[in-house]
Amino acid sequence: MKNSIKVITSLLLATGLFSCNDNEQKEGDRGALASNAAEKVYVAPGEHDEFYAFLSGGYSGNLTVYGLPSGRMFKEIAVFSQFPTSGYGYSEETKPMLNTSHGFIPWDDLHHPDISQTNGKLDGRWIFVNGNNTPRIAKIDLKTFETTEIIEVPNSAGNHSSSFVTENTEYVVAGTRFSVPIPQEDIAINEYKGKFKGTLSFISVDPEEGHMDIKFQLIMPGFDYDLSHPGRGKSHGWFFFTTYNTEEANTLLEVNASQNDKDFIAAVNWKKIEEYVNNGGGKIMPANYAHNMYDDKSHTATSTMKKEVLVVDPREVSEAVFFLPTPKSPHGVDVNPSGDYIIGNGKLSADLTVHSFDRMIDAIENKEYSGEAYGIPILNFEDILAGTVKQAGLGPLHTEFDDKGNAYTTFFISSELVKWNVETREVIDRQPNYYSVGHVMVPGGNSREPFGKYAIALNKITKDRYLPTGPELEHSAQLFDISGEKMELLLDFPTHGEPHYAAGIPAEILEENSQKIYKLAENENEYATLTNGDARVERNGNEVHVYMTTIRSHFTPDNIEGIKVGDKVYFHITNHEQDFDVPHGFAMIGANNAELLIMPGQTKTLVWEPKQVGVWPFYCTDFCSALHQEMQGYVRVSPKNSNIEVSWSLGED
């Protein structure tokens, strides 16, 4: 393969069509190479992709699922945003998932998916994601590909350095981007310096059920905590967070937070703090935050408001938190698969900083500090530095790794993906990105065992890459084959919302466990209708409960009378199908809501408040059978003061 590239390249050079070396080949000039790339991404009809890729949806609030190498999108998983396609956040069962201390919030900004791990390897049980705007961490079950838990993070704002997991999923970690008064209070913004604080939250994950609980929050100086990554292997037990605005400016940060030559990576020995907390350390602080759980058997979410959180002052735990000076407002911080190196990408620096974990430990043991910030020791830059990658590009953001000792760093400003060797820190290859790449993802790239076959560059700017669709364009991802010495661009594909990070996993880990139906016999929904004989309509004051079933191709009951203007009608719909991929939908004219899509064996509830007298239809929204168009019914709505009793028909004329 490589030989054929060389041959083609020299041919092109000979004909003068192509005047630079093969590193700099322009994507539009690929010509003959394209057919080879096409073969590599071609997944024949009916065949399956090799990897699942989960791409954050950014301001869509949701997570999308793609196949690699094809770049085909399989699903949008509703997480923080109401999603009419499934009725998530519209059905009575799922509304509690979006409850917060600010009330019902139907949206968020989702940035960083991370898959659960066991012994540093992807185990494919769950995927965690963060909501930036109203700080939350969500967990998605990778059996059902549904969001099953959301926990709000108190004392946080712009929850950006989140949601990365430790190597046995002991914790999913969330860090604040914006420092704020803690607890919140009404103070002047120019009192920022010294008064505002940042929290780093360690959320424990129950090893069996995966339930999340905030174990402790570290109260840190008022910097901005941008990104984080766990230690692994030898550095397991540590967590690393980038900071910027160590100047603690509160206005025109563009200038005022770019003054210091070096900001910090905060190194947190979470094992030490965990021990301190387990021995009764820390302070309980009043708080108010939502913990929302979805139960697969009852198909119902509940929301509980939690009233306290344990906070830890890092100065009280000796030698648990240190600052590693790192040039120029670092954005990403990434740890290589062995856990030896901590890579800081200074946004305003041309060089990449590679810190050595061993050297950091030596410096700590020798107590060689260059100073302190708010009582937290600062290590000497020279003491901990393993080396730098010189002049690698402009505007480095994020780094991922393969299984051969290489790193892949994205450069936003010079718009390229750069491959370099972690030990020698020499640049091996660079490929342009179209345009302005943010994150890069190698499946398993944040684990001890990456699968170094593909990398996707998640670009921020699309411009001319696709047919224009008016002013608003989807973002563009680019798939590279990274199995050889040089990276090879294989495919462009559009993504949804704004993907920041992504997570990939071999399909075989998830495919077998993917759930096909919910068992009707195990349905514990309070309003489930398990047999057609139980289908009925009950009035309770102005509340009416309709217990309805669906099966190809009818609703039971199908006609309902005795509903009055001013009623609140709850349609509790149980799908009796027990076949894979036979959902039924339900939509009611005039409902201030969305439709519901009910999976086989599941119960979902839609509320309708009829406002007009008449006879109003409902129907199935999913083309479920040849007689799908027959899957319909009527509700007769009478005036508020009418005496018509509720009655219904079960489909026997």
Considering beta carbons, is residue 169 or 605 the nearer one to ligand CUA? 605
Residue 235, beta-bridge partner list? none
Considering beta carbons, is residue 215 or 439 the nearer one to ligand RUQ? 439
Q: Rounded to the nearest whole angstrom, what is the least distance from the CB of residue 208 to ligand RUQ in the complex?
A: 30
Among ligand RUQ, ligand CUA, none, residue 624 binds (CB under 5-8 Å by kind): ligand CUA
Among 324, 397, 457, 520, binds ligand RUQ (CB under 6 A): 397
Contacting positions for ligand CUA (CB under 6 A): 553, 584, 620, 622-624, 628, 631
Among ligand CUA, ligand RUQ, none, residue 438 binds (CB under 5-8 Å by kind): ligand RUQ
Considering beta carbons, is residue 423 or 622 the nearer one to ligand CUA? 622
Among ligand RUQ, ligand CUA, none, residue 501 binds (CB under 5-8 Å by kind): ligand RUQ
Among ligand RUQ, ligand CUA, none, residue 229 binds (CB under 5-8 Å by kind): none
Cα separations in angstroms, 513 against 46, 206, 549: 19, 20, 28
Q: Rounded to the nearest whole angstrom, what is the least distance from the CB of residue 143 to ligand CUA in the complex?
A: 25
Q: Tokens representing 261? A: 């030559």
Considering beta carbons, is residue 135 or 583 the nearer one to ligand RUQ? 135
Backbone φ, ψ for residue 315 (5° rounding): -70, -15
List the 369-373 sheet strands across, edge first.
Answer: 224-230, 238-244, 262-269, 321-327, 376-379, 369-373
Question: What CA–CA distance (Å, rounded) separates 3 from 7?
Answer: 6
Residue 232's closest CA among 406, 449, 425?
449
Among 236, 419, 439, 545, binds ligand RUQ (CB under 6 A): 439
Considering beta carbons, is residue 332 or 585 the nearer one to ligand CUA? 585
454 close to 480: Cβ distance less than 8 angstroms: yes
Which residues have a Cβ under 8 Å from the Cβ of 409 and sit 6 or more positions away?
Answer: 343, 345, 352, 389, 392, 393, 396, 397, 398, 399, 417, 418, 420, 440
Q: What is the DSSP letter of 145?
A: T
Considering beta carbons, is residue 90 or 244 the nearer one to ligand RUQ? 244
Asked if 604 touches ligand RUQ (CB under 6 A), the answer is: no
Among ligand CUA, ligand RUQ, none, residue 236 binds (CB under 5-8 Å by kind): none
Question: What CA–CA distance (Å, rounded) separates 114 from 167?
Answer: 11
Asked if 465 touches ligand RUQ (CB under 6 A), the answer is: no
Q: Rounded to the nearest whole angstrom, what is the least distance from the CB of residue 241 to ligand RUQ in the complex?
A: 13
Considering beta carbons, is residue 438 or 583 the nearer one to ligand CUA? 583
Crossing angle for the helix pair 2-14 and 33-41, to the nearest 10 degrees: 150
Considering beta carbons, is residue 86 or 459 the nearer one to ligand RUQ? 459
452 class by beta-carbon count within 10 Å (0-12 exposed, 13-18 middle, 19+ buried): buried
Q: Rounded to the nearest whole angstrom, what is the least distance from the CB of residue 515 to ligand CUA in the complex?
A: 21
Q: Rounded to the nearest whole angstrom, what is the least distance from the CB of residue 628 to ligand CUA in the complex?
A: 4
Q: Tokens representing 80? A: 């923080």
Considering beta carbons, is residue 466 or 623 the nearer one to ligand CUA? 623
Q: Tokens representing 606? A: 């839609």
Q: Tokens representing 130? A: 């963060």
Among ligand RUQ, ligand CUA, none, residue 111 binds (CB under 5-8 Å by kind): ligand RUQ
Q: State which of positions 221-240 bind ligand RUQ (CB under 6 A).
A: 227
304: helix, coil or strand?
Answer: strand
Among ligand CUA, ligand RUQ, none, residue 560 binds (CB under 5-8 Å by kind): none
Tally of CA atoms within 13 A in the half-sphere of 594 that contains its CB:
18
Binding site for ligand RUQ (CB under 6 A): 111-112, 160, 227, 331, 397-398, 438-439, 500-501
